[in-house]
Every structure is written in C-alpha cells, then in structure tokens.
Chains A and B, each alone.
Chain A
C-alpha cells in the first residue's frame, strides 16, 4: 500500500506539467533538496544549508519562526474576518455581535485573531531581547537588526490599528488615549493627530483610516520587510552561530 502511494506520488512529480512548475524533480539526493529551496521564489530567501548548532532550541528558542507563525495565523484569520466586517459606524460593532451570535465559529475566529495578535507583539519583543543577549546584532548582521526594529514598530502599529476596529468602548478609549499622545509632538502634534484620525476626534473617518492601515498598508509593509529580514539572514552568513570558541562550536 505504502509502495503504491509512493509510486503514485513519484508519477505525479515526474509528470510533465508538474515538472514545468517544480523543476527539482524526484529524488532524495542533496542536489534535489538544494534545488527544492533554490528554485523556489519564496524559499529562495533562505540558504540551502544551515549550521546544525544554530538549529538547537537554546540558540534561538525559535522565536523568529514563531513570530512569523503568528503572522501567518493573523493573515488567514484576518482575511476571514474581513468577510464579515464593515468599517463603518456603528455597523462595525454590529458585525462583532454577528460574529458572536450569527457566524459559525465567529467567536473562535475573532479569539484566534486577537490572542495571536497579542502573542505576536510579545514574541517580537522576546525575539529582540534574545537576539541582543546572544550578540547576534553585531556586524555583519547590524542592518538586519535595524530591519528588525522597523518590524517591531510595524507590529506595534498593526496591533494598535487593529485595536480600534471592534468599535467598542475598550477600542474607542484605548485609541483616544494613544492618539492624544500624538498631539504632544512639538509644533505639528495636532496636525499629525488630524492626519492619523482624519478629524479632530476618533470618529467614523478614523475607523476607515485604521481599517485601511490595518488591512492593506501595514501588512504589505510587514511582508516587504519580513522578506528582506529573511533574505538578509542568508546574505549575512546564516543564523548567528554563537561566538567562536563559544559553547557548541567544537573548539
């Protein structure tokens, strides 16, 4: 049975159409495995080989990978939530109630999006401190650290803009508190606040702006910087292996 399935899979993978898409072909050799990564536009961001000791749990705690994992969950649940959501006042709040009482698994969908968002913010911070304490920010990886700081800010903005969307008391006043801080910027504080909210107070315009930022502009920014962040890992010599002569270097 297992043989038949393997045979079938091989037949599909050797098929002309399949081969026109995935060129690495069948086979178990390291060459095939290398081509699998190198000939895929997305996987191409990563190197073909990795140092074994950088894969140990203690090296990274997998915090970067887990952060990306939460981001994937957030995209999937976020797109599904968009199907049930209107960024208008007071319909946005009614949509929350619909998610709660009308939509199948609506509560679960919103829960998963919310808790994953909190997890992502936490993981981004944890990832940053882990990288710092390991000394992985040092040259030649200094620019990737800067990209990481940008991604931290993008993550905070993503979470903050998403916070307003349910249009309940919690959302409204949290964003009011935050946007009042923006008006403390010297000289142009009130202008920045006006630009952010599309008005002088948190209202329907602010909801629409936060929605566009949350669902289009910031996710695209995040994806762009994440791609550069991953690609730079390869370009800067892989995941930081630890100090020469340090633990696990075999010296």
Chain B
C-alpha cells in the first residue's frame, strides 16, 4: 500500500475503457441492471390465474365470433376456372400487392427474405441495443445521409409506380424530420418523445406502416385484374 490515493475520480460511461467501482446507472445504459427490492408474486397461482382469465376472455370472444360468422366455403376446387382476382390469404396480400409492381423474384423472394433477415439481426447490433435517439449526435451528418437515402428510395418507388408504398414512407420521413428539428429538452411531450427515438424505432415503424397499408389495400381495395375497387361497392 504505497499511495492510498491510487485512483482518480472520472466521469465516463464506457465500461470498456474505465472499469469502475461506483456506477451511476442512467436510462438505457444497460438493460441488464437488476432492480433490488422489487415486488414479486408467486407464478402459481397469481400469474397462471391472470393468464387463464385472459385466455378465457379471448376464447369467449372467438366462440361468439364463430357463432355469428361462418367461415367462407366456395365451390369445389376447379383448376380450369380461375377466379378473378385470385387472392392469397390476407397476411400475404401485402406481398401480392408488391407482386403487382415488381418481378416475382423481387416481391416474392428478395423482399420477404430481407425482412426475415432484418428481423433476426435486430438484437445483434449495438446501435439497436443502446437505442440512442437518432438525432442526438452527429445531427448534420445524419440529416444528409437521411436526405439522400429517402430521396433515392422515393425515386426508386416512383420509377416502379409504387405510389401506395410512397405514402407511408413520406409520412414516417416527415415525422423523422420533425424529430430532427426538435430541441431534445423541449417541454412538449410528443416531440420530446419523438426526438428520443432511435433509428431502429423509425425503421420498424416504417415497416409496420407499409405492412398495414399494403395488406389493407390488397385485402379491401383490389378487384378483378388487381384493379382498384372500393370495398363498400362489393363488386367482387
């Protein structure tokens, strides 16, 4: 024990550079922090009871639905007679809508493949794990990249006439710009919330918007020859 004061007090949040004894855990620093003295309940009966009640409520709702509405059943399958339009199940109609614009290898193989890959790798990127607000650092540089990416993507969609996918893209991009123009310390709750959102949030939200819009269009607004119809006209 030469010098009792062989340490220095520093303020650094990077645990790889500065191993510490005293840690001040701030929001989002690490999701693995254990909170002590937390209220716990027994899985049996408390958790099981709640889960069973939730399932019962849902089962009741499904039973009522099944009593009120019959599952569709059309005529016997006939390979000689193609219905118009021939539609996939509703959860694939977003893809079928894309199939209308892009060649099958893009809409049917490339895009779903990329989506599945993107979903799988989400938790393996530190940028998603740390989940820092997109505009909190390097704002000017990120705005330039953002502008180029959105512009190129919108031109790409316009070239292929995919106006239906352009609308959600512009909507999400608009909110991203709003977030970029917001002071992180602002007192306005919604904009403060927007500016705290990381890149992964924006991409996922864009994906969700596209999924909902494309699926809804494919399900309700497409008729014979994949032309536009209004669902309340009941033309197909």
Contact = CB atoms under 8 A, between A and B. Distances in A.
Interface string A184-207: 111000000000000001110000
Interface of B: 25-33, 35, 37-47, 50-51, 54-55, 58-59, 62-63, 65-67, 69-79, 81-83, 86-92, 95-96, 99, 103-105, 107-109, 116, 119-120, 122-124, 128-129, 131, 201, 204, 208, 211
A176 B211 CA distance: 22
B25 A245 contact: yes
8 contacts: A43-B43, A66-B55, A70-B58, A112-B66, A114-B66, A115-B66, A137-B122, A167-B77
Interface of A: 30, 33-34, 36-37, 43, 46-53, 55, 62, 65-66, 68-70, 72-73, 89-90, 93, 96, 100, 107-108, 110-116, 118-119, 121, 125, 128-129, 132-133, 135, 137-142, 145-146, 149, 152-153, 156, 159-160, 163, 166-174, 176-178, 180-186, 201-203, 237, 240-241, 243-246, 249-251
A159 B70 contact: no
> How would you classify the secondary structure of chain A's contact residues: helix, strand, loop or mixed?
helix
Contact of B62 (A116, A160, A186): A116
A170 B81 CA distance: 12
The winner among B30, B66, B71, B99 for most chain A CB atoms within 10 A is: B71
B25 A111 contact: no
A51 B38 contact: yes
A248 to B, nearest CB: 10
A174 B91 contact: no
Contacts of A250: 35, 37-38
A245 B27 contact: yes
Contacts of B74: 168-170
A139 B105 contact: no
B109 A184 contact: yes
Contacts of B82: 173
Contacts of A171: 77
Nearest to B37: A250
